[in-house]
Amino acid sequence: MSINPEIFKAYDIRGSYPKQINEETAFLVGVALAKRLKGTIIVGHDVRVSSPRLYEALFHGLLHVQNTSRKQLNFIPVGLISTPMLYFLTTHFKASGGVVITASHNPKEDNGIKMVAKSNQVIPPADILADIQKLKPIPASDRFSGPLPTIDTKPLYRAYAQYLASYLSLARPLTVVFDCSNGAVSAVLPQFLKALPKTSRLKTILINAEPDGDFPAHGPNPLLPGSMDELKKTVKEYHADLGIIFDGDGDRILFVDNAGNELPSGATLTLLARNTKGKLIIDVRSKGFLVQEYASAAKREIIDSEVGHRFIKEKMKSHRAEFGGEASGHYYFKEFFGVDGDLFPAIMMLNSVSRLEQGAHQWLKSLPQYHHSGELNFKLKDAKAQRAVLKRVEQSYKKTATKLMKLDGVRLEFPNWWANVRTSNTEPLVRLNVEADSDKLLKEKVKELTKLIKG
């Protein structure tokens, strides 16, 4: 059994197809999952060209275990699905787990596998790899190779759409442009719109809304330069109140205001948080001035988190928080099972924007203006060099910083600027985020920290 251990990442399995991840990988993951789980398992895939082939291979692994053991397994084969819809169905059916073939926002040549257990708890890929390495060889003649089970998926889509539609509550009519990026949300969004009552007060314009694994419009990652250009143009053309764009599997979402400008992460977090109460779970690279000022005014406590959805989800559960967020476009609501959603955050944003006394752009302009570097990446030789960078940063600012935190890398806080320097969990990179109350100060601090990082 030949399998590449490097594709088993911290939260999912991901690599280039077919060089790193292929049908053999998917089959063995299916076998390992079926041996680990029991009862009902939700199975789906995204729009990538290679996804149906990997879906079939993984399903053959699941069925192999069912046919060669006494385990009582019930599979719900959904086919094309967004990752958040998988989370919904896992909860809806009280399933023991779910699995979706997807590489999320990775380039179209890649593919991967996301796996969850009961209550949408991430199944660590390292555990699946260990299970696979313990398997005895399975000859091709012994493997299941029959037709896959199929079901009518319309009721599943309808149930998801109706659940989402129940949360839309607009205070005034809105026009919104949805950019589905030709990804999995292309299959979900039309069902949601059908489920809305005629009194919803929502007018929609859809672009790139045909599922297409070649991602012809702009690729599956909305964070890449140029990916939001068409959305911004369409928002201005239709004088829309908001633009919304999703990544390939739907769990990353970004927004454009009514002037056709990308809504900064601090403003996004603030508007989304207004739909909830209590504590906020925010990662250390996303806790900017705007969200801190909102939390202070609303008398809400911010709980700092490491970067990564596993940490956000764990802290939301342990602190019984209603909302958590990351600057990368992942937003978590207790009402959506504490996981990152596709249309659920979109609905929460629509609700908030409809309650503004002015447009989102005008609202943002009325707030204090801050300047952000975006996430800057620096490639280093190895983990030792990464650790040396963090040590240099800590030593340079420990006596002058108002607050220095080492929860995830080093976070520095000063009255008029802050920065987070952290290492990547998967690559020899150091990542830098800086925010300041003036462009001049921002450039000064980015230059200062860049010099420290490069040594």
Among 151, 180, 196, the domain boundary falls at 151
Please name the residues in contact with 15: beta carbons below 8 A apart, sequence gap of 6 or more: 4, 6, 7, 21, 110, 111, 112
Residues 263 and 200 in one domain: yes
CATH code of 416's domain: 3.30.310.50
Note whether 390 and 336 are same-domain residues: no
Q: Which two tokens stand for residue 68?
A: 């060669």
Q: What is the pLDDT of residues 354-405, one digit of tens each?
A: 999 999 999 999 999 999 999 999 999 888 999 999 999 999 999 999 999 9
For residues 21-43, one letter each, b for 16 or more C-beta atoms within 10 angstroms of the residue's C-beta and e for the rest, the string is bbbebbbbbbbbbbbbbeebbbb
Question: Based on the domain organization, do 197 and 258 belong to the same domain?
Answer: yes
Phi-psi domain of 120 (left: phi exceeds 0; alpha: psi -120 through 50; beta: other): left
Residue 201, pLDDT above cutoff 90: yes
CA distances from 40 to 77, 93, 134 (A): 11, 8, 24
- pLDDT of the residue at 190: 97
pLDDT of residue 426: 63
* Residue 167 binned pLDDT confidence (cut-offs 50, 70, 90): very high
Single-letter code of the amino acid located at 336: F
Reported as a single tens digit per residue, the pLDDT across 247-286 is: 999 999 999 999 999 999 999 999 999 999 999 999 999 9
**Total of domains in the chain:** 3
Among the candidates 96, 116, 151, a domain finishes at: 151
* Helices 125-133 & 23-36 angle (0-180, nearest 10): 100
49-61: pLDDT as tens digits: 999 999 999 999 9
More confident residue, 1 or 168: 168
Question: pLDDT by residue (tens digit) across 72-110?
Answer: 999 999 999 999 999 999 999 999 999 999 999 999 999
Structural domain harbouring 406: 371-454
CATH of the domain at 23: 3.40.120.10
| Residue-wise pLDDT tens digits, 410-453 | 999 999 999 999 998 667 799 999 999 999 999 999 999 999 99
pTM summary value: 0.96
Percent of the chain exceeding pLDDT 90 equals: 94
Is residue 238 located within the same domain as residue 352? Answer: yes
Q: Are residues 240 and 338 in the same domain?
A: yes
Catalytic positions, please? Answer: 104
